[in-house]
Amino acid sequence: MAPADEKMNATAEEQVQMLDVHEKDNDDLLPSPVSATLPRPAANKPKLSAAAIIPIWIVLSSAVIIYNNYLYNTLQFRFPVFLVTWHLTFAAIGTRVLQRTTHLVDGAKDVNMSKDVFLRSILPIGLLFSASLILSNTAYLYLSVAYIQMLKAFTPVAILLISWTFRIQDPSKRLAVIVFMISSGVALASRGELRFNLVGFLTQAAAVAFEASRLVMIQILLHGMKMDPLVSLHYYAPVCALINLAVLPFTEGFAPFYEVMRVGPLILISNAAIAFLLNIAAVFLVGAGSGLVLTLAGVFKDILLITGSVLIFGAQITPLQVLGYSIALVGLVLYKTAGSK
Protein backbone atom coordinates (compact mmCIF):
# COMPACT_ATOMS: atom_id res chain seq x y z
CA MET A 1 0.00 0.00 0.00
CA ALA A 2 2.11 4.47 2.13
CA PRO A 3 3.41 6.55 1.60
CA ALA A 4 2.45 5.03 0.49
CA ASP A 5 3.28 2.38 -0.88
CA GLU A 6 2.79 5.19 -1.72
CA LYS A 7 3.30 3.97 -0.60
CA MET A 8 1.22 9.22 0.75
CA ASN A 9 4.84 8.38 0.40
CA ALA A 10 6.09 10.59 3.15
CA THR A 11 3.36 9.51 5.42
CA ALA A 12 3.20 6.82 3.47
CA GLU A 13 4.93 5.52 1.58
CA GLU A 14 3.85 5.02 0.74
CA GLN A 15 1.41 6.61 1.78
CA VAL A 16 1.12 5.28 0.35
CA GLN A 17 2.95 4.05 -0.48
CA MET A 18 3.19 2.82 -3.15
CA LEU A 19 0.91 2.01 -5.69
CA ASP A 20 3.76 -0.05 -4.29
CA VAL A 21 1.60 -1.82 -1.69
CA HIS A 22 0.06 -5.11 -2.68
CA GLU A 23 -2.84 -6.47 -0.65
CA LYS A 24 -2.73 -10.23 -0.27
CA ASP A 25 -6.37 -11.10 -0.97
CA ASN A 26 -7.42 -8.01 -2.85
CA ASP A 27 -7.85 -7.66 -6.59
CA ASP A 28 -7.23 -3.91 -6.40
CA LEU A 29 -3.80 -2.44 -5.90
CA LEU A 30 -4.01 0.21 -3.22
CA PRO A 31 -1.89 3.31 -3.71
CA SER A 32 -1.80 4.42 -0.13
CA PRO A 33 -0.30 2.88 2.98
CA VAL A 34 -3.54 3.55 4.83
CA SER A 35 -5.87 1.19 3.06
CA ALA A 36 -8.15 -1.61 4.11
CA THR A 37 -10.90 -3.61 2.47
CA LEU A 38 -12.33 -1.65 -0.43
CA PRO A 39 -15.88 -0.38 -0.34
CA ARG A 40 -18.12 -0.17 -3.37
CA PRO A 41 -17.90 3.30 -4.94
CA ALA A 42 -20.59 5.57 -3.57
CA ALA A 43 -23.12 6.90 -6.02
CA ASN A 44 -22.63 10.50 -4.85
CA LYS A 45 -18.85 10.47 -5.33
CA PRO A 46 -17.41 11.86 -8.56
CA LYS A 47 -15.59 9.34 -10.72
CA LEU A 48 -12.62 9.63 -13.03
CA SER A 49 -11.51 7.22 -15.72
CA ALA A 50 -8.29 5.25 -15.35
CA ALA A 51 -6.77 7.25 -18.21
CA ALA A 52 -7.42 10.47 -16.29
CA ILE A 53 -6.54 9.49 -12.71
CA ILE A 54 -3.51 7.24 -13.26
CA PRO A 55 -1.29 10.04 -14.69
CA ILE A 56 -2.41 12.33 -11.86
CA TRP A 57 -1.57 9.65 -9.30
CA ILE A 58 1.82 8.97 -10.89
CA VAL A 59 2.73 12.68 -10.84
CA LEU A 60 1.63 13.17 -7.23
CA SER A 61 3.24 9.96 -5.98
CA SER A 62 6.54 10.79 -7.67
CA ALA A 63 6.35 14.42 -6.51
CA VAL A 64 5.96 13.40 -2.85
CA ILE A 65 9.02 11.15 -2.90
CA ILE A 66 11.20 13.61 -4.83
CA TYR A 67 10.04 16.51 -2.63
CA ASN A 68 10.83 14.57 0.54
CA ASN A 69 14.25 13.64 -0.75
CA TYR A 70 14.84 17.30 -1.64
CA LEU A 71 13.92 18.28 1.92
CA TYR A 72 16.15 15.67 3.52
CA ASN A 73 19.25 15.87 1.35
CA THR A 74 19.23 19.20 -0.50
CA LEU A 75 17.73 21.48 2.13
CA GLN A 76 19.35 19.32 4.84
CA PHE A 77 16.12 19.14 6.86
CA ARG A 78 17.06 15.70 8.17
CA PHE A 79 14.19 15.08 10.55
CA PRO A 80 12.03 12.23 9.23
CA VAL A 81 10.10 11.70 12.47
CA PHE A 82 9.07 15.35 12.55
CA LEU A 83 8.16 15.38 8.85
CA VAL A 84 6.02 12.24 9.14
CA THR A 85 4.31 13.65 12.25
CA TRP A 86 3.59 16.91 10.41
CA HIS A 87 2.17 15.06 7.40
CA LEU A 88 -0.11 12.97 9.61
CA THR A 89 -1.29 16.03 11.53
CA PHE A 90 -2.05 17.79 8.25
CA ALA A 91 -3.92 14.69 7.04
CA ALA A 92 -5.91 14.37 10.28
CA ILE A 93 -7.11 17.96 9.94
CA GLY A 94 -7.59 17.66 6.17
CA THR A 95 -9.81 14.58 6.31
CA ARG A 96 -12.04 16.24 8.89
CA VAL A 97 -12.37 19.35 6.74
CA LEU A 98 -13.27 17.15 3.76
CA GLN A 99 -15.77 15.25 5.88
CA ARG A 100 -17.63 18.48 6.58
CA THR A 101 -17.37 20.02 3.12
CA THR A 102 -17.45 17.10 0.61
CA HIS A 103 -18.72 13.54 0.13
CA LEU A 104 -15.20 12.08 -0.13
CA VAL A 105 -15.16 10.81 3.46
CA ASP A 106 -18.80 9.67 3.58
CA GLY A 107 -17.55 6.11 3.94
CA ALA A 108 -16.69 6.90 7.57
CA LYS A 109 -20.43 6.82 8.33
CA ASP A 110 -20.50 3.12 7.45
CA VAL A 111 -17.65 2.21 9.81
CA ASN A 112 -18.72 1.04 13.27
CA MET A 113 -15.73 2.38 15.20
CA SER A 114 -16.29 1.09 18.72
CA LYS A 115 -13.77 1.36 21.54
CA ASP A 116 -13.07 -2.36 21.21
CA VAL A 117 -12.38 -2.08 17.46
CA PHE A 118 -10.12 0.90 18.08
CA LEU A 119 -8.03 -0.83 20.78
CA ARG A 120 -7.86 -4.23 19.08
CA SER A 121 -7.44 -3.13 15.47
CA ILE A 122 -6.76 0.54 14.78
CA LEU A 123 -4.18 1.04 17.54
CA PRO A 124 -1.94 -1.99 16.78
CA ILE A 125 -2.12 -1.34 13.04
CA GLY A 126 -1.36 2.32 13.74
CA LEU A 127 1.76 1.32 15.67
CA LEU A 128 2.99 -0.75 12.72
CA PHE A 129 2.08 2.08 10.37
CA SER A 130 4.07 4.63 12.39
CA ALA A 131 7.12 2.38 12.52
CA SER A 132 6.91 1.76 8.77
CA LEU A 133 6.58 5.46 7.95
CA ILE A 134 9.39 6.59 10.23
CA LEU A 135 11.81 3.91 9.06
CA SER A 136 11.01 4.27 5.36
CA ASN A 137 11.57 8.03 5.55
CA THR A 138 14.75 7.61 7.58
CA ALA A 139 16.16 5.42 4.80
CA TYR A 140 16.27 8.49 2.52
CA LEU A 141 19.00 9.90 4.74
CA TYR A 142 21.30 7.04 3.72
CA LEU A 143 20.14 5.63 0.36
CA SER A 144 19.24 7.00 -3.06
CA VAL A 145 15.63 7.25 -4.24
CA ALA A 146 16.43 4.75 -7.00
CA TYR A 147 17.80 2.08 -4.67
CA ILE A 148 14.95 2.50 -2.17
CA GLN A 149 12.40 1.88 -4.93
CA MET A 150 14.25 -1.31 -5.80
CA LEU A 151 14.21 -2.49 -2.19
CA LYS A 152 10.47 -1.79 -1.91
CA ALA A 153 9.90 -4.47 -4.53
CA PHE A 154 10.56 -6.98 -1.73
CA THR A 155 7.31 -6.03 0.08
CA PRO A 156 5.15 -8.76 -1.54
CA VAL A 157 7.75 -11.36 -0.58
CA ALA A 158 7.65 -10.19 3.03
CA ILE A 159 3.83 -10.38 2.96
CA LEU A 160 3.93 -13.94 1.64
CA LEU A 161 6.59 -15.06 4.13
CA ILE A 162 4.60 -13.67 7.06
CA SER A 163 1.39 -15.21 5.72
CA TRP A 164 3.06 -18.59 5.32
CA THR A 165 4.70 -18.43 8.73
CA PHE A 166 1.39 -17.82 10.50
CA ARG A 167 -0.51 -20.15 8.13
CA ILE A 168 -2.74 -17.38 6.85
CA GLN A 169 -2.04 -18.47 3.29
CA ASP A 170 -0.83 -21.79 1.92
CA PRO A 171 2.38 -21.77 -0.12
CA SER A 172 2.34 -22.93 -3.73
CA LYS A 173 4.93 -23.65 -6.39
CA ARG A 174 3.88 -20.57 -8.37
CA LEU A 175 4.23 -18.29 -5.35
CA ALA A 176 7.56 -19.93 -4.46
CA VAL A 177 8.87 -19.12 -7.94
CA ILE A 178 7.66 -15.52 -7.55
CA VAL A 179 9.40 -15.22 -4.16
CA PHE A 180 12.61 -16.54 -5.71
CA MET A 181 12.38 -14.13 -8.67
CA ILE A 182 11.76 -11.03 -6.57
CA SER A 183 14.36 -12.01 -3.96
CA SER A 184 16.99 -12.73 -6.62
CA GLY A 185 16.20 -9.48 -8.41
CA VAL A 186 16.47 -7.37 -5.26
CA ALA A 187 19.70 -9.21 -4.30
CA LEU A 188 21.22 -8.41 -7.71
CA ALA A 189 20.12 -4.79 -7.42
CA SER A 190 21.77 -4.60 -3.99
CA ARG A 191 24.94 -6.23 -5.27
CA GLY A 192 25.15 -3.61 -8.01
CA GLU A 193 24.52 -0.61 -5.71
CA LEU A 194 27.60 1.63 -5.84
CA ARG A 195 26.75 3.58 -2.68
CA PHE A 196 25.54 0.75 -0.51
CA ASN A 197 25.01 1.77 3.11
CA LEU A 198 24.36 -0.98 5.65
CA VAL A 199 22.46 1.28 8.07
CA GLY A 200 20.21 2.51 5.27
CA PHE A 201 19.68 -1.01 3.95
CA LEU A 202 18.72 -2.39 7.38
CA THR A 203 16.46 0.61 8.00
CA GLN A 204 14.57 0.10 4.73
CA ALA A 205 14.44 -3.68 5.32
CA ALA A 206 12.85 -3.04 8.72
CA ALA A 207 10.38 -0.61 7.09
CA VAL A 208 9.38 -3.30 4.60
CA ALA A 209 8.93 -5.81 7.44
CA PHE A 210 6.68 -3.43 9.40
CA GLU A 211 4.71 -2.52 6.27
CA ALA A 212 4.17 -6.16 5.35
CA SER A 213 3.09 -6.93 8.92
CA ARG A 214 0.67 -4.00 8.78
CA LEU A 215 -0.92 -5.27 5.57
CA VAL A 216 -1.29 -8.78 6.99
CA MET A 217 -2.81 -7.34 10.18
CA ILE A 218 -5.31 -5.37 8.07
CA GLN A 219 -6.41 -8.62 6.45
CA ILE A 220 -6.84 -10.27 9.84
CA LEU A 221 -8.22 -7.49 12.03
CA LEU A 222 -10.17 -5.36 9.56
CA HIS A 223 -11.55 -8.15 7.40
CA GLY A 224 -14.93 -7.05 6.07
CA MET A 225 -14.59 -3.46 7.27
CA LYS A 226 -15.19 -1.16 4.32
CA MET A 227 -12.66 1.68 4.24
CA ASP A 228 -11.21 3.42 1.23
CA PRO A 229 -7.75 5.07 1.54
CA LEU A 230 -9.14 8.45 2.64
CA VAL A 231 -11.47 6.97 5.27
CA SER A 232 -8.60 4.86 6.59
CA LEU A 233 -6.44 7.97 6.77
CA HIS A 234 -9.26 9.69 8.68
CA TYR A 235 -8.91 7.09 11.45
CA TYR A 236 -5.18 6.30 11.33
CA ALA A 237 -3.69 9.78 10.91
CA PRO A 238 -4.58 11.10 14.40
CA VAL A 239 -3.47 7.87 16.07
CA CYS A 240 -0.15 7.75 14.24
CA ALA A 241 0.47 11.46 14.71
CA LEU A 242 0.12 11.08 18.49
CA ILE A 243 2.35 7.99 18.50
CA ASN A 244 5.02 9.84 16.51
CA LEU A 245 4.67 12.92 18.69
CA ALA A 246 5.45 10.75 21.72
CA VAL A 247 8.54 9.38 19.95
CA LEU A 248 9.77 12.76 18.67
CA PRO A 249 11.38 14.07 21.93
CA PHE A 250 13.47 10.90 22.24
CA THR A 251 14.63 10.82 18.62
CA GLU A 252 14.97 14.35 17.22
CA GLY A 253 14.15 16.52 20.22
CA PHE A 254 13.40 20.19 19.58
CA ALA A 255 15.95 20.57 16.76
CA PRO A 256 13.40 20.31 13.90
CA PHE A 257 11.30 23.11 15.40
CA TYR A 258 14.32 25.44 15.24
CA GLU A 259 14.97 24.41 11.63
CA VAL A 260 11.42 25.08 10.42
CA MET A 261 12.04 28.79 9.96
CA ARG A 262 15.27 28.15 8.06
CA VAL A 263 13.51 25.87 5.59
CA GLY A 264 10.37 27.99 5.54
CA PRO A 265 6.81 27.15 6.59
CA LEU A 266 5.63 27.40 2.97
CA ILE A 267 7.92 24.50 2.00
CA LEU A 268 6.53 22.26 4.75
CA ILE A 269 2.90 23.23 4.05
CA SER A 270 3.23 22.59 0.31
CA ASN A 271 5.03 19.31 0.99
CA ALA A 272 2.24 18.07 3.27
CA ALA A 273 -0.43 19.35 0.86
CA ILE A 274 0.99 17.31 -2.03
CA ALA A 275 1.08 14.22 0.17
CA PHE A 276 -2.55 14.81 1.15
CA LEU A 277 -3.59 15.32 -2.48
CA LEU A 278 -2.02 11.94 -3.20
CA ASN A 279 -4.46 10.31 -0.79
CA ILE A 280 -7.38 12.11 -2.40
CA ALA A 281 -6.20 10.81 -5.77
CA ALA A 282 -6.10 7.33 -4.23
CA VAL A 283 -9.85 7.48 -3.63
CA PHE A 284 -10.47 7.98 -7.34
CA LEU A 285 -7.76 5.50 -8.35
CA VAL A 286 -9.20 2.57 -6.41
CA GLY A 287 -11.68 0.88 -8.69
CA ALA A 288 -10.67 2.93 -11.74
CA GLY A 289 -8.99 -0.04 -13.37
CA SER A 290 -8.16 -3.71 -12.95
CA GLY A 291 -5.55 -4.86 -10.48
CA LEU A 292 -3.11 -5.60 -13.29
CA VAL A 293 -3.57 -2.16 -14.86
CA LEU A 294 -2.87 -0.48 -11.53
CA THR A 295 0.12 -2.75 -10.93
CA LEU A 296 1.58 -1.78 -14.29
CA ALA A 297 0.93 1.88 -13.46
CA GLY A 298 2.89 1.39 -10.24
CA VAL A 299 5.74 -0.25 -12.14
CA PHE A 300 5.80 2.64 -14.61
CA LYS A 301 5.83 5.12 -11.72
CA ASP A 302 8.80 3.35 -10.10
CA ILE A 303 10.72 3.39 -13.38
CA LEU A 304 10.04 7.12 -13.72
CA LEU A 305 11.18 7.68 -10.12
CA ILE A 306 14.42 5.83 -10.70
CA THR A 307 15.01 7.80 -13.90
CA GLY A 308 14.19 11.04 -12.07
CA SER A 309 16.55 10.12 -9.25
CA VAL A 310 19.36 9.76 -11.80
CA LEU A 311 18.54 12.99 -13.65
CA ILE A 312 17.63 15.22 -10.69
CA PHE A 313 19.81 13.97 -7.84
CA GLY A 314 22.64 12.38 -9.82
CA ALA A 315 22.04 8.88 -8.45
CA GLN A 316 24.16 6.21 -10.11
CA ILE A 317 22.70 2.91 -11.23
CA THR A 318 24.58 0.01 -12.76
CA PRO A 319 23.63 -2.54 -15.46
CA LEU A 320 23.48 -5.19 -12.72
CA GLN A 321 20.86 -3.13 -10.90
CA VAL A 322 18.83 -2.69 -14.08
CA LEU A 323 18.90 -6.46 -14.61
CA GLY A 324 18.04 -7.25 -11.00
CA TYR A 325 15.21 -4.74 -10.80
CA SER A 326 13.77 -5.95 -14.12
CA ILE A 327 13.62 -9.49 -12.73
CA ALA A 328 11.95 -8.23 -9.55
CA LEU A 329 9.38 -6.24 -11.56
CA VAL A 330 8.44 -9.32 -13.59
CA GLY A 331 7.97 -11.13 -10.27
CA LEU A 332 5.77 -8.28 -9.02
CA VAL A 333 3.49 -8.50 -12.06
CA LEU A 334 3.28 -12.29 -11.71
CA TYR A 335 2.45 -11.85 -8.04
CA LYS A 336 -0.45 -9.55 -8.85
CA THR A 337 -1.81 -11.78 -11.60
CA ALA A 338 -1.50 -14.80 -9.29
CA GLY A 339 -3.43 -12.94 -6.57
CA SER A 340 -6.23 -11.93 -8.92
CA LYS A 341 -7.00 -15.39 -10.23
Task: Dump pLDDT digits (tens) for 179-208.
Answer: 999 999 999 999 999 999 999 999 999 999
Distances (CA, A) of 116 to 221, 234, 337: 12, 18, 36
* Mean per-residue pLDDT over the chain, rounded: 83
Amino acid residing at 305: L
Q: Look up the pTM and report it.
A: 0.82
Comparing 171 with 205, the larger pLDDT belongs to: 205
pLDDT mean over 105-119? 85
Strand positions, DSSP E, the chain:
3-4, 13-14
- Tell me the β-bridge partners of 3: 14
pLDDT of 34 > 70? The answer is no
Question: Is the model's pLDDT at 121 over the cut of 70?
Answer: yes
162/183 Cα distance (integer angstroms): 15
Residue 166, pLDDT above cutoff 70: yes
pLDDT of residue 297: 83
The pLDDT, as a whole number, for residue 108 is: 85
pLDDT at 44 over 70: no
Asked whether residue 337 carries a pLDDT value surpassing 70, the answer given is yes
Mean predicted confidence (pLDDT) in 296-308: 86
| pLDDT value of position 340 | 52
- Count Cβ neighbours within 10 Å for each residue of 255-264 and write b for 16 or more, e otherwise: ebeebeeebe
Domain residue limits, the chain: 50-339
3-state SS assignment for residue 37: strand
Could you tell me what percent of the chain has a pLDDT over 90?
Answer: 54
Number of neighbouring beta carbons within 10 Å of residue 123? 13
Instruction: Give phi and psi for 15, each to the nearest 5.
Output: 0, 145
As to burial, measured by CB atoms within 10 angstroms (0-12 exposed, 13-18 middle, 19+ buried), residue 10 is buried
Handedness of CA 331, 332, 338, 341 (dihedral sign): negative
Rounded CA-CA distance 259/155 in Å is 33
How big, in percent rounded to 5, are the helix, strand and coil portions of the chain? 70, 5, 25
- The answer to whether 205 and 151 have CB atoms below 8 angstroms apart is yes
Q: Predicted confidence band at 289 (pLDDT cuts at 50, 70, 90)? A: low
pLDDT at 313: 80
User: Would you give the DSSP letter of residue 40?
Assistant: P
Q: Is the pLDDT of residue 36 over 70?
A: no
Q: What is the mean pLDDT of residues 46-67?
A: 87
Average pLDDT over residues 317-329: 93
Q: Work out the percent of the chain whose per-residue pLDDT is above 70.
A: 83
pLDDT digits (tens, 9 = 90+) for 228-286: 788 889 999 999 999 999 999 999 999 999 999 999 999 999 999 999 999 888 888 87
The whole-number pLDDT of residue 46 equals: 62
Question: How much is the average pLDDT of 62-75?
Answer: 94
Is the pLDDT assigned to residue 223 strictly greater than 80? no
pLDDT confidence of 176, banded at 50, 70, 90?
A: very high
Is pLDDT above 80 for 298?
A: yes
45: left (phi over 0), alpha (psi -120 to 50) or beta: beta
pLDDT for residue 32 is more than 70: no
Q: DSSP for 154-202, please give it.
A: THHHHHHHHHHHTTSS---HHHHHHHHHHHHHHHHHHHT-TT--HHHHH
